[in-house]
Structure 1
Amino acid sequence: MARSDWRRLDESDVRVRPGKGTRPRSKRRPAHADASPAMVTAKDRGRWTCAVDADPERAVTAMRARELGRTPIVVGDRVDLVGDVSGRPDSLARIVRVDERTSVLRRTADDTDPYERVVVANAEQLLIVTSLADPPPRTGFIDRCLVACYSGGLQPVLCLTKSDLADPGELLASYADLAVPAIVTRHDEEPTELRDRLAGRVSALVGHSGVGKSTLVNRLLPDAGLATGEVSAIGKGRHTSVSAVALPLPSGGWVIDTPGVRSFGLAHVNPDDIVLAFPEFAEAAEECPSGCGHLGPPEDPDCALDDVVKSGEARPGRLASLRRLLASRAGLDVL
């Protein structure tokens, strides 16, 4: 080409080879129609253990596919896997989809923490394990777990341990108006009622350290081998579970043991989420002034929930229980 011809060229005539990282990425993603459904049973340092078809005999180690980005994946999640799902040593599958969750157990570190943590997904019920003595029961913690159940779509169940050391009557009476199912256990009897309650279901267990949660799991599953710890001298248990893990039950179903916690933050919960769990008050709550916390006088003097009780449409004990849960959510309880 003559030198004079260069002057007639413009930028559209110049062919530039794109550098690394400048080529447009396709938005099309594989459909993964042949992906295998699975349930997440454990997590450890960026790897997830999954049971293919929720079969505990088909355990697979998987990583999160790049296209999922930072999508959170927790124990109990239903996922789709591709790649090597044989479960052979050193094999690795990829999680390419996470199904919509039917329920979530969430908490924050405290009531001011804006970051919520999903502890368990897709559990049908939450067993709130509380010892009747050594350490003594903490109703504030129970109330907060109830709030988490109502806002997350789980069925709460009280599981009271160490009934050989104290009478459960008083604690059961304080939750009678909430109609929460309760199971009472003791160390010298087989937990038959508990086994029946768990059979065929996905259940999560939560409780302070030292209340006997891991001991119960060891009795339900002798081969689980979960560590148990003694209660410290100041009445607080030592932590024995360090991460959530789903364990298959001989009678079918799964039990998800969660780490022992000392606090249960509820910064992510809206008061209206709790009221919706009480159908007799849900409609009246819509008539409350904007910003009403439904706590009643003196905090919320114009709360419409009192009118429901005055009209005879709800028992006073139900409203008192609801407001106790709302006070717990607002941080007015003592754990």
Structure 2
Amino acid sequence: MPRGTGYDEYDHERFDRPRRRTRPRTKDRPSYDDAVDGVVVTVDRGRLTCLVEGRPVMAMKSRPLGRKGVVVGDHVRIVGDVSGAEGSLARIVEVDERRTVLRRTADDDDPVERVIVANADQLVVVAALADPEPRPRLIDRALVAAYDAGLDPLLCMTKADLADPETLLTIYRPLGVPHVVTQRGDDLAEVRARLAGKVSVLIGHSGVGKSTLVNALVPGSDRAIGHVNAVTGRGRHTSTSALMLPLPRYDDGGGWIVDTPGIRSFGLAHVQPGQLIGAFPDLEELTDECPRGCTHGEGEPECGLDDAIADGRTDVDRVQSFRRLLASRERAEDD
């Protein structure tokens, strides 16, 4: 045994440990020439279900993507086992640039944005006319998110057999928000026509009949249906994750719907109030003479919208409706 050590020449502790990163580093990256195209239809605890040539494929995000999130609606490139066989697992290696991104935050002070869905065309705000009562403030905030994301809004009023839709329509008619009215067992031809050929995201708080609507539009989807609590007047959450479903291809050309979990608030920390006017071109052109820093809200001095109302260039109800949306960005949702 060598003097001054506790090891003999054959002891493994005597030899140097292998160094980390012994493999030479390279700037070359895989080309993924064999990758196939897919679209993410649901995300569950890190596992993503994608549709590849019409078949579901289970996949996980590859390490080179780092912290880049992958959400429902993303168009992705996939390698590995894309057979869709039970137990198979592929890898998502690339995420295409998103056309649109619908976001929300937990509340208006939350700096963390949560992407709800990517590459959607339309936001369908589902609101019950009764049981539970409609919540215009939540609808307002959902509309703000739609305008900010560049999505077309659609107000879908359910349970018309329980209440007259005109009361709610008077609030949103000045904004020009398109709408459909439904009730249980009703013909959904008008709804299908509004959804045809588009990727539509359905949102609404629990109990408004969103899952019932999805089950009627996509037979066999079997989305769980909740019930409204007789004491609180609120529904319980039944959908736990967003799910993208293909609409049956009737004469209207099909389309996709994304069913989302019921929401109780819609944070808008990511929305800049000054950009909301851009969703209303007719009002925006009336603000050219506004002073610097004008938010176009209620009480702003020398706002061009007030001048336009005074000389009859615009309708007062439309301006007030726009300002209500603007105020909803600056006011927390009242639960």
Q: What pairs with 1:225-240 in structure 2 (closer than 5 Å)?
A: 225-233=222-230, 234-240=232-238
Post-superposition offset of 1:113? 0.9
- Alpha-carbon spacing, 1:80–1:114, altered in 2? closer, same or farther (3 Å): same
Q: Which amino acid aligns with 1:27?
A: K
Post-superposition offset of 1:161? 0.3
Q: What pairs with 1:236-275 in structure 2 (closer than 5 Å)?
A: 236-251=234-249, 252-275=254-277
Q: Structure 1: give runs of 5+ residues left out of the alignment.
A: 1-16
- Alpha-carbon spacing, 1:286–1:26, altered in 2? closer, same or farther (3 Å): farther
Q: What is the percentage of aligned positions where both structures have the same residue? A: 58
Check conservation: 2:107, 2:332, Cα contact below 8 A.
Answer: no
Post-superposition offset of 1:59? 0.9
Post-superposition offset of 1:311? 4.6
Match of 1:120 among 117, 127, 130: 117
Check conservation: 1:123, 1:204, Cα contact below 8 A.
Answer: yes
User: Counterpart of 2:323 in 1: which secondary structure?
Assistant: helix
User: Counterpart of 2:78 in 1: which secondary structure?
Assistant: strand
1:159 is matched with 156
Q: Which amino acid aligns with 1:306?
A: D
Q: Which moved more, 1:322-331 or 1:195-204?
A: 195-204
Q: What pairs with 1:100-111 in structure 2 (closer than 5 Å)?
A: 100-111=97-108
1:327 is matched with 327
TM-score w.r.t. length of structure 1: 0.88
1:46 aligns with 2:43: no
1:219 aligns with 2:216: yes
Q: What pairs with 1:11-160 in structure 2 (closer than 5 Å)?
A: 19-21=19-21, 25-53=25-53, 55=54, 58-160=55-157
1:183 aligns with 2:185: no
Q: Structure 2: give runs of 5+ residues left out of the alignment.
A: 1-16
Q: Which moved more, 1:312-321 or 1:181-190?
A: 312-321
TM-score w.r.t. length of structure 2: 0.88
Partner Cα distance (1:333, 1:108) in 2 = 12
Post-superposition offset of 1:310? 3.6
1:281 aligns with 2:253: no
Partner Cα distance (1:202, 1:308) in 2 = 37
Post-superposition offset of 1:79? 0.8
2:309 is matched with 309
User: Counterpart of 1:282 in 2: which secondary structure?
Assistant: helix
Partner Cα distance (1:282, 1:72) in 2 = 34
Q: Which amino acid aligns with 1:264?
A: F
Check conservation: 1:296, 1:306, Cα contact below 8 A.
Answer: no
Q: Which amino acid aligns with 1:237?
A: G
Q: Over residues 257-305 of structure 1, what are the superposed CA-to-partner deviations in whole Å (9 max), with x where a residue is unaligned?
A: 00001000101100122111011233454654454332131xx224333
Partner Cα distance (1:309, 1:95) in 2 = 53
User: Counterpart of 1:276 in 2: which secondary structure?
Assistant: helix
- Alpha-carbon spacing, 1:314–1:32, altered in 2? closer, same or farther (3 Å): farther
Partner Cα distance (2:268, 2:291) in 1 = 23
Please give the root-mean-square deviation of Cα atoms over the aligned residues, in Å: 2.1
Post-superposition offset of 1:195? 2.0
Post-superposition offset of 1:68? 0.6
1:9 is matched with none
Check conservation: 1:246, 1:257, Cα contact below 8 A.
Answer: yes
Check conservation: 1:150, 1:273, Cα contact below 8 A.
Answer: no
